């Protein structure tokens, strides 16, 4: 007498056999998206949204244009994804540690993270700046969480001022000044290299720049 196969067991076996292939395809897709995003960052940083082309992005990623469009909907959609990735990164970069540590430690840590981001990801920083300079039409709808985090940071600074740990500066303007100075090292890296006659910064030089910027900003805000 022949016993009919158990359909549940057969289904589970099929899924277990297919699982490695599915994971492999998913991993390859994720890796390719990362390659495309890196290529897009280079092209958008040098050409801007208007000047960038999907052909240039495909060439930079080592793909044909048809292959690129298998992974992306459009140049505009890819640009929006790149901006979202930058915002997600900056939420981490600009996050305040425990307020109880006080302004000197918390702000020093923030300046260090922002300077390192400028050194290590200058192209991403330049894309953000270029988008802002054209009125942030794509960026504005994506910045709700960033607004909240900035308001929270300003409130923390105001608390430190109220406790006498800082001079009575305008909290939001202080954040603007911090962003502007640290951002300069990403957006104007070429200018910095020309005038300092240093084409590349090693770890010691980066540490020196961070110390100088930190001292300048904290002293200017009268941080105790």
User: What are 19-50's pLDDT values in tens digits?
Assistant: 766 777 888 889 999 999 999 999 999 999 99
The Cα 178–Cα 175 span in angstroms is: 5
Distances (CA, A) of 9 to 1, 5, 14, 17: 20, 8, 9, 12
For a pLDDT cut of 70, what percent of the chain falls above it? 91
pLDDT number for residue 53: 97
The model carries a pTM of 0.80
Predicted pLDDT at 147: 87
Domain residue ranges of the chain, discontinuous segments joined by +: 7-72, 80-220
Q: Specify the pLDDT at position 8.
A: 57
Whose CA is closest to 105, among 147, 166, 44, 155? 166
> What is the pLDDT, as a whole number, of residue 26?
87
What fold is seen in the domain 80-220?
Tetracycline Repressor; domain 2 (1.10.357)
Write out residues in the chain with pLDDT < 70, as ranges. Answer: 1-18, 20-21
Q: The domain 7-72: what is its CATH number?
A: 1.10.10.60
Determine phi and psi for 137, rounding to 5 degrees.
-65, -35
Residue 145, Cβ neighbours under 10 Å: how many? Answer: 11
Longest dimension (CA), the chain: 91
What is the C-alpha separation between 45 and 186, in angstroms, rounded? Answer: 12
Query: Residue 13's pLDDT is what?
Result: 46
């Amino acid at each position: 007498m022949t016993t009919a196969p158990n359909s549940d067991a057969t289904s589970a076996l099929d899924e277990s056999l297919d699982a490695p292939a599915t994971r492999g395809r998913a991993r390859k897709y994720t890796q390719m998206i990362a390659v495309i995003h890196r290529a897009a960052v280079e092209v958008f940083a040098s050409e801007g949204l208007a000047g960038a082309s999907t052909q240039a992005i495909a060439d930079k990623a080592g793909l044909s244009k048809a292959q690129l469009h298998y992974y992306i909907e459009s140049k505009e959609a890819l640009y929006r994804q790149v901006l979202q990735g930058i915002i997600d990164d900056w939420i981490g970069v600009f996050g305040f540690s425990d307020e109880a540590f006080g302004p000197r430690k918390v702000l020093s840590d923030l300046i260090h993270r922002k300077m390192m981001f400028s050194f290590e990801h200058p192209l991403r920083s330049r894309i953000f700046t270029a988008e802002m300079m054209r009125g942030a039409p794509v960026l504005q709808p994506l910045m709700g969480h960033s607004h909240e985090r900035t308001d929270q940071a300003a409130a923390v600074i105001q608390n430190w001022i109220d406790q006498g740990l800082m001079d009575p500066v305008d909290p939001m303007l202080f954040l603007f000044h911090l962003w502007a100075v640290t951002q300069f090292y990403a957006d104007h890296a070429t200018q910095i290299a020309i005038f300092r006659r240093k084409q590349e910064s090693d770890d010691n030089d980066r540490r020196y720049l961070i110390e100088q910027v930190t001292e300048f900003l904290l002293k200017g805000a009268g941080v105790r």
